[in-house]
Every structure is written in structure tokens, then in C-alpha cells.
Amino acid sequence: MASLTLLSGNSIPTVSYGWAGIDADILPARLETAIESGYRHIDGAWVYGGEKVIGDTLKKLIDEGKTKRDQLFITSKLWATHHHPCDVRPAVKKSLEDLKMDYLDLYLMHTPCAFKEPGTKDKWTPDPFAEIVPDDDVDYVDTWKMFLDAGNEETGG
């Protein structure tokens, strides 16, 4: 599959496999088919609720020799209810843990603004259908600064 070279020198595949809305029961088979078909960019997000299933499936495929971690480009995203600076590092760690990865190749803010916590579920249980209420008390620049700090801590750089 085609890829683009980033200014950092790293490359990113131009086509990715995403799983938003795919039932967790059929997700492993679909991901395995995607990997066998040549997909190497796995694009997801915590809020989709499938990172544990993806992590288990990728670990299985790596253990079976069907792919290697360094052949994959893994993207995840910070959900809007986790934009408070104190939530960024735990959110990164949660995605890494669920995906069974030591690092992410790309981590994005899922939305350009923060949402208020709906208060109906555990903060770390995805609820994509929760009421969306913007949280004007969170500045995306402060969130971004924590991205840089979390990245430095996770990579040692």
C-alpha cells in the first residue's frame, strides 16, 4: 500500500483500517483479513470501544508471525471528555494498555474542543451517545501541551 513521508522522516500509510461501529464479535476476523490484505495503518479511537479487541487481535497476529509491530502504524485519539490536562496522560496510557502497545505512531485530539463529562458512566467507559455539551473551561492549547509532555514521558525523549 502507498505511504507518505512525513517531515520527521517517518512514513504513514495513505489507507487505513478503522473500526468505528463494528461489532466486537466480528472485529477480530475483519482486522485479520485487513492485515492479510496488506493494511498496515490501524486507525481507531478510545471512544469506539474496540481498543481491547484490536490489541488482543494484533497481539495474536504478531505472535503468529503474520505481522510485526514495526510494520504497523497505529493511530488513536483523545476523546473530547478527556481534554482536561490531567486526563491526557491517563488517556494515552489507557489506549496503550488496551492496544497492548509500547507506543502509538499517531495520537490526535478527536475533536477540536472539549466536552463536559456526562456524569452517567465511569470516566473511562466509552459512551459515544452521551449528550455533547462543550466545555469552555478547557483550552485546547493546554491539552496540546500535555500531549507534548505525555509523548516525552512515554518515549523517554
Q: Is the pLDDT of residue 51 over 90?
A: yes
CA quadruple 39, 125, 100, 107: dihedral positive or negative? Answer: positive
Annotated catalytic residue, options 48, 103, 107, 140: 48
**What residue spans define the domains of the chain?**
3-155
User: pLDDT-based confidence at 143, cuts 50/70/90?
Assistant: very high
Cα-Cα-Cα-Cα torsion 138, 140, 141, 146, nearest 10 degrees, comes to 80
Task: Tell me what the mean pLDDT of segment 110-115 comes to.
Answer: 89
pLDDT, mean over the chain = 89
Task: Tell me what the mean pLDDT of segment 98-108 comes to.
Answer: 96
The pairs formed by 111-118 with CB atoms below 8 angstroms and a separation of 24 or more are 111/79, 111/80, 112/140, 113/80, 113/83, 113/138, 113/140, 114/80, 114/81, 114/83, 114/84, 114/138, 114/140, 114/143, 115/80, 115/81, 115/83, 116/81, 117/81, 118/81
Task: Tell me what the mean pLDDT of segment 107-119 comes to.
Answer: 87
At 157 the pLDDT is 39
Please tell me which residue, 150 or 99, carries the higher pLDDT value.
99
Lowest mean pLDDT among 2-11, 88-97, 124-133, 138-147: 124-133
At 128 the pLDDT is 64
The domain 3-155 is placed in CATH, from the list 3.10.20.740, 3.20.20.100, 3.40.1800.10, 1.10.540.10, at 3.20.20.100
pTM over 0.75: yes
Residue 90 and residue 55: Cα distance in Å, rounded?
17
The CA-to-CA distance between both ends of the chain, in Å, stands at: 30
pLDDT digits (tens, 9 = 90+) for 66-95: 999 999 999 999 999 999 999 999 999 999
Q: Is the pLDDT of residue 100 over 90?
A: yes
48 is catalytic: yes
pLDDT digits (tens, 9 = 90+) for 13-46: 999 999 888 888 999 999 999 999 999 999 999 9
